[in-house]
Structure 1
Amino acid sequence: MQRTSRMKRELMLLTTEPPPGITCWQNGGQLDDLRAQIVGGADTPYEKGIFNLELIIPERYPFEPPKIRFLTPIYHPNIDTAGRICLDILKLPPKGAWRPSLNISTVLTSIQLLMSEPNPDDPLMADISSEYKYNKQMFLKNAALWTEKHALQSKENLAAPTQGASPPSVCTSVSSQKRQGASVPGASKKACLGP
């Protein structure tokens, strides 16, 4: 019951005050199965890309973190080919940094920040991490090519939410949290344990 009322509040807030460049909605009217879209940040190789994510909310939420993966392929040191994300707030302590005070909005904002600022020292993809560290130009080129191939879409092609959820609105001007100086609590990018 606690999870249901909290999820309803979180979804209402995500609908009325979404973080810049992020939308989230219920998939098929289910509170434990969500979809989200993150618009790639300006001045990154993901710029103008629209990245779809799947969020599965566990029974014990908020005492357990949501399970999140990218559905859109992305070329990134901390996101593998299955879409799994290396981010400490997606794991429970002691090796992770999840805490019940965090919410879906914070997690999605942290993932958006990770897209802009990869952590090559704690990778899921060793080859991409090495390229990011030692051949940045090649990394930027490959990441931009993947974005062009997999994430550039017109509004008509976006996955439409079902059962009464409002369709995601796509923000074209994404303000970077980095430029605004905003810090996301618990969003350090350490303690990658893989899947």
Structure 2
Amino acid sequence: MAATTDPVDGFSAGLKNDENVFEWEIMIIGPMGGFLRAELTFPPEYPLLPPILKFKTPMWHPNVYPDGTLCISILHAPGKDEFGYEDANERWLPLISVISLLSSDTPNTDSPANIDAAKQVRTDLAAYRKQVRRLVRRSTEEEFD
């Protein structure tokens, strides 16, 4: 893992503990200005295996499991997709794609991690967006309290 002196807009990261370079705390400035806290855990086999990203901020998104774990092809291990949704060349891409995923107006509902959120996107997109805005407001309030 190489350090950079040129930060990427949209998120910040730092070690959870100076003794463990495999666990990071992440802050993503998400859609609509929300502050999304997450943990990024790198396996010892990194970069051959991808990290695990788990949101600590409550999320309502088809590609985030109810426990906060992100389910996205860029974080899957390389190789054949057992579910047949993506090619091997679509897997394990740069982490910055997480911001893009969260900023999308219409989330991917093809293979959802959160079935209820995916169903809401398909049946009532306005209600889905209202729920997301509510969580964004809460995340911003909590960050500045």
Using structure 1 for the length normalisation, give the TM-score: 0.63
8 A contact 1:55–1:68 mirrored in 2 = yes
| Structure 2 portions without partners, runs of 5+ | 82-87
1:155 positional shift: 5.8
Coordinate RMSD, CA, aligned: 1.7
1:24 and 2:10 aligned = no
1:50 and 2:39 aligned = no
Residue of structure 1 in register with 2:110 after alignment: 121
8 A contact 1:53–1:69 mirrored in 2 = yes
User: Relative contact order (C-alpha < 8 Å, sep 6+): which is higher?
Assistant: 1
Using structure 2 for the length normalisation, give the TM-score: 0.83
Deviations 1:76-101 (A, max 9, x none): 11112201112112111211612xxx
8 A contact 1:50–1:153 mirrored in 2 = no
8 A contact 2:35–2:143 mirrored in 1 = no
1:126 positional shift: 1.4
Percent sequence identity over aligned pairs: 26
Pick aligned residue for 2:65 from 80, 83, 86: 80
Q: 2:140 aligns to what SS in structure 1?
A: coil
Higher strand share: 2
| Structure 1 portions without partners, runs of 5+ | 1-6, 42-46, 158-195
Q: Which portions of structure 1, spanning 4 or more consecutive aligned residues, are displaced by more than 4 angstroms?
A: 154-157
1:156 positional shift: 5.7
8 A contact 1:75–1:128 mirrored in 2 = yes
